[in-house]
Homo-oligomer: A and B are copies of this chain.
Amino acid sequence: MKRHIKIIGIGSYVPKRTVHSDEIDRKISAPNGWSEKKSGVKKRYFIEEETASYMGAHAAINALDQAGLTFSDIDCIISASGTVEQAIPCNASLIQKQLGLEQSGIPCFDVNSTCLSFVTALDMISYPIDAGKYKNVLLISSEISSVGLDWSQKESSILFGDGAVAVVLTKSTTQSGIISSHMETYSEGAHLSEIRGGGTKIHPRLYDENTAGDFLFNMNGRGIFKLSYKYLPAFLERLFKNTSLSMSDINLVIPHQASASAMKIIRKKLEVPEERFMSIIENYGNMIAASIPMALYEAVKQDKIKRGDYVLLLGTSAGLSIGGIILEY
C-alpha cells in the first residue's frame, strides 16, 4: 500500500568544529593520509559545546523554513537517532524544549533502530500521516558519535562524524509517497557493532578503567559487511516485490554512509552507476542515523533529485538490520 506522504522541507545542522583527516591521523598516531585512505573521510564535524537537542532544533528550524511553515503548523515531533542526549527523557522532548515549544503540547517520542532510525521512523509515521492523524510531522535525526568513539579501535573511530538533519512531512496530494518499505533484522549480528555499556546491563556506575571500553563503540566491520552482503540480494528482491520497479528505475540510491569501501562494493553489487549512488561520506563521515537524511539533504541541494523521481533509501544498522524505502520524491 502506497503511503501518500511528501517531504516538504529538509534542513541540516553541523557542529562549528570541522575535523580534517590529518587531525584524525595525529590523534591515532597514524601516518599522514592514512585515515582518509582507509575510510574515505576527508572531513567530518565534531561537537564542542553543541548538544543533540541544540543541533536537532537548528536542523528543524531550517527544515521548517524551507517548508514555509511555522511551528504552530507542526503536530508531531519524532527523534530518530541511534544516540540519546540523556537517558531520560526522550530526545524529541528535549528538542521541543530547545525550540521554545515547552507549552505547545506537540507530541514527542523517539524511534530507534541505530543507523536505520530515520528510515524506520519515516516508514512508521507514513501510515498515520496518510490516514490523516498528523498534518505536519518533524522527523529529526541528531547524532553525536564523537563522544563514544574508541580511538584505540582505528577501524571504527576514523569513520564517524556528528550532525543533525530534520525533515517536515505532510500528506501528499500528488504522486509523492512511499511505494515500498522493508526491514530485516538478523540478531546473529547483534554484537558485531555495539556499545555494551550505558544501559541496565552495564550501568554507568560500573565505569572504571577496566570497563571503560564497554562504554565506547565497538565494531567488527568485516563481520557486518559479510552478513549484510549475504542477506542484501534477497532483501532487495523483497523490497521491490509488489512494485512495478527494478533497480534500473531508481533515479538515485541514497545509502547509509557506513564506510567508503563498503559503499563502493555494494554499489557494484547492485550494478548502480556512480552518478546514481549518493555519497557524502568524504565530507561528513558516518553520522549514524543522520547519514541517510544528510545524503538526501545534499541530493536535494545539489539538484540530484527532482519531484517524481524514484529514490531508494537503503542501509544497514547495528542489530544487525537491513532497511530500505522506495520513495517517489
Tell me the A residues contacting B by CB distance below 8 Å: 1, 51-52, 77, 82-90, 92-94, 96-97, 101-114, 116-117, 120, 124-125, 127-128, 131-133, 144, 147-148, 183-188, 190, 193-205, 207, 212, 215, 217, 231, 317-321, 323
Contacts and interface: CB of A to CB of B under 8 A. Distances in A.
A88 B131 contact: no
B133 A201 contact: no
Nearest to A116: B109
Contact of A51 (B97, B110, B128, B200): B200
A88 B203 contact: no
Given A105-B184, A184-B107, A204 B193 contact: no
8 contacts: A83-B199, A87-B195, A90-B319, A96-B185, A109-B111, A109-B113, A147-B205, A148-B200
A186 B104 CA distance: 6
Given A92-B185, A131-B127, A319-B93, A112 B109 contact: yes
Given A106-B185, A110-B113, 4 more contacts: A89-B318, A93-B185, A93-B190, A147-B200
Contact of A112 (B90, B104, B147, B318): B90
A41 B178 CA distance: 48
Contacts of A1: 131-133
A287 B217 CA distance: 29
Contacts of A186: 102-105
B199 A215 contact: no
User: Most chain-B CB neighbours within 10 Å: which of A107, A116, A125, A186?
Assistant: A107
Nearest to A76: B183
Contacts of A89: 114, 190, 193-194, 317-320
A231 to B, nearest CB: 7
Contacts of A207: 204-205, 207
Nearest to A110: B112
A102 B204 contact: no
A70 to B, nearest CB: 18
Contacts of A127: 127-128, 131, 133
A218 to B, nearest CB: 9
Contacts of A147: 200, 203, 205
Given A93-B319, A97-B190, A105-B184, A86 B128 contact: no
A144 B200 contact: yes
A212 B201 contact: no
Contact of A205 (B131, B201, B212): B212
